[in-house]
Structure 1
């Protein structure tokens, strides 16, 4: 696995974000705890460098809890930032610097955030994020007092799935998964396992399943349980009781098991779907007891373009790959006048066609909401 981001914010040279290989900075910021965003974080020499430089790592409360659990030697150097506006004092080599940092839910996983930095210039770093077109306008801290989008000197944006036109809303995917799970568990002696690609990012699925079935999901990984159990209000759909009929595993953990035919396997993924992902066919039943669900924690291309055009911005930096501008509409994102007015066309309702395939499930419509409480945008 390679690093998703270089860590460098050109406009604010005394900080690093989501990359810890440069260990001589005055402050570090972590948007979420995934392997491609923590390069250098587990370096045995890093705590000593933090102490020498009087530096700290800033993150959300959930992310701090995860780091404390995974890398306890970093605990003295972690600082929690709250959602909304924060002002932090940073001791640079020659002076004290006051940096304004606004944390906004990124919709990627529990505790994942975007950072809005203000220090002479205004910079938005998205980290990995998933924000639907209908939700951008709900983010108060990304708008002026009159409701207009804020002006950005630079936008650092995640383009992981820029080649996929769009993804279905997670709320709609889960609504269909719930139907499968309820039908499966209606027969005595049956169990369900949820199989994910990453350790963190699928937490809200457990809440939705509990709300629909009354069954809490057993968290098989002890470290994850220790983290999640610290947030009972946000993670009300989980348990450490292994007798539960619903279990959560990563692909690696599940590979060590030998489930029988009475276990429904639900695979959550976005990578395997590619450009064929759409709202109508987001679930595939491979066998009687194995289904795959298109569950994306990153924006598709349509959402990325909408987000980039929504804000008046002078410079755009994309990661982990450069954003591909292959037509005049996209190129205009980079060439438009700095103070030009941004006009965004309203999103048209999607036409939903019924599936003729018995192995594919059409998705029903559900209102998209943004829950600030659990920092998860559906």
Structure 2
């Protein structure tokens, strides 16, 4: 869960993923993705009036903008799309900036922001990028094909711990998930799946793969269905018809409940999450079961190895910790691990500098010239639906109904200790809907049983 205050210290006149308190004085706002812990304060009348009355803007990816306009139609003229991989210049009183959004691989519409003034700042938001794909992102290279110098990375540290060294690839997790689903639904039409996710949305890629591998969509409720309607690729993956599928998720009165039809069937419960899956647990595979409740490791945040790879590749001067855990010792461990990574390439840089009395071919190290062949630099990586555009046009309620019939020793590492405040009470329907639709992303509290290899 993000504990970021919203303020980029090096660019104090903007705010990212936080829209209350001191952030109200910012000139421009940025949203990395539409998960509730990154939207604190956005629903309040105070923030919305701040945008409207002072002619300020909230910037996000195309999909996030579509979702925001669905949740807050009154703000549609103050919500602006940032094109992926395209730098946008903003002329602000506090100083002009350029912002470049980079796909974060967390959920549809999720992006990292590369801010440039006289320095470069990377804000990752929540992200998960395969460690082999990081160096393929063209946005991290300048026109000379050298890796851009990053001053500070504001880092998603959710799993920056050696206990979460590695997660299975999403494809592997989904292959296991679908095997568990089919092993139950193939028994007969009265055998249903209750799929339990730790957030209301962010599992669109998973739903798509379930549909492709099982031929069945996922039954969801009207609220969730309308939310998914902004993503064209979801058209066949979700349904409002409880009789059209044996797979049910978020189809009851809230996203943690299922409909009566599922409850009246023979149910196998599947819980997808990542927090319970430490390295020790993963030694026996990435699924386990207890009776008819199954647990599958499915991660949408970077593992420790993926986080380390990002830092080693970009070599920032400092790192800002954006996910503060409840246990202070855990935060100290994260900070220590980050400092160890930073020390590795600092020592290499110091050796190179000592020998660079004159610039000659003999003393320019290979490390100082990170030139990558043209064919290895490209704009994207294979994340499919996570990097797809939203619909170009809005659909009416009638059309939606028609579809219903057929998701941390020095100052270089800083820890954010801001706690998320309780949101203001709200009365109007639009605000209440936004609180209901975009749920706080947190893991399931139930402890998983010891791993048992599936046969």
Q: TM-score range by the shorter chain?
A: 0.7 to 0.9
Q: For residue 31 of structure 1, report the CA deviation from its aligned partner.
A: 0.4
Bigger Rg over Cα: 2
State whether structure 2 residue 28 is matched by structure 1 residue 27. Answer: yes
Q: 1:330 aligns with which of 338, 341, 346?
A: 341
Task: Tell me how far apart the structure 2 counterparts of residues 16 and 38 of structure 1 sit (CA, whole Å).
Answer: 11
Q: Is residue 77 from structure 1 mapped to residue 75 from structure 2 by the alignment? A: no
Matched residue SS, 2:241: coil
Match of 1:191 in 2: 192
**Higher strand proportion, which one?**
1
Decide whether the 8 Å contact of 1:47 with 1:77 is kept in 2. Answer: no
What CA distance in whole angstroms lies between the structure 2 residues aligned with 1:277 and 1:78?
43
Distance in 1 (CA, whole Å) between partners of 2:368 and 2:166 is 22
Matches within 5 A, 1:1-378: 4-21=3-20, 22-92=23-93, 98-145=96-143, 147-163=145-161, 164-188=164-188, 189-220=190-221, 222-233=222-233, 236-243=236-243, 244-249=245-250, 253-255=255-257, 259=263, 262-278=266-282, 280-287=284-291, 289-321=292-324, 323-326=334-337, 329-330=340-341, 332=343, 335-336=346-347, 337=349, 341=367, 370-371=382-383, 374-375=386-387
Q: Secondary structure at the match of 1:233?
A: helix
Note closer, same or farther for the CA distance 1:327–1:13 as it changes in structure 2 (3 Å cut). closer
Structure 2 Cα separation of the partners of residues 327 and 229 of structure 1: 40
Report the number of matched residues: 346
* Offset from partner CA, 1:110-130 (integer Å, 9 cap, x none): 111111111221111100111
Higher relative contact order (CA 8 A, sep 6+): 2
Partner of 2:452: none
Give unmatched runs, 5+ long, in structure 1. 345-368
Q: Find the aligned partners of 1:326 and 1:231 in 2 and give their Cα distance.
A: 38
Aligned to 2:453: none
Aligned alpha-carbon RMSD (Å):
2.9
1:160 Cα deviation from its structure 2 partner: 1.0
Contact 1:215 1:246 in 2 (8 A): yes
Gap change, CA 1:279 and 1:67, over 3 Å in 2? farther
* CA apart distance, 1:147: 4.5
Return the offset for 1:69. Answer: 3.0
- Report the more deviating stretch, 56-65 or 271-280: 271-280
Distance in 2 between residues matched to 1:154 and 1:209, nearest whole Å: 39
Distance in 2 of aligned mates of 1:332 and 1:133: 20
TM-score for both structures, normalised by structure 1: 0.82
Q: Deviations over 1:325-378 (max 9, x none)?
A: 25984351584448883799xxxxxxxxxxxxxxxxxxxxxxxx62255328xx
Name the SS of the counterpart of 2:88 in structure 1: strand
Question: Mean alpha-carbon deviation: is it higher for 24-33 or for 271-280?
Answer: 271-280
Say whether the 8 Å CA contact 1:104–1:113 is kept in structure 2. Answer: yes
From the superposition, tell whether residues 112 and 280 of structure 1 become closer, same or farther in structure 2 (CA, over 3 Å).
farther
Contact 1:153 1:315 in 2 (8 A): yes
Cα distance in structure 2, aligned partners of 1:51 and 1:43? 12
- TM-score when normalising by structure 2: 0.69
Change (3 A) 1:157 1:328: closer
Deviations 1:206-244 (A, max 9, x none): 111111122122222x23321322221366422232222
What is the rounded CA distance, in whole Å, between the counterparts of 1:192 and 1:216 in structure 2? Answer: 12
- In the TM superposition, what is the alpha-carbon distance from 1:135 to its structure 2 partner? 1.6
Shift, 1:162, TM fit? 1.7
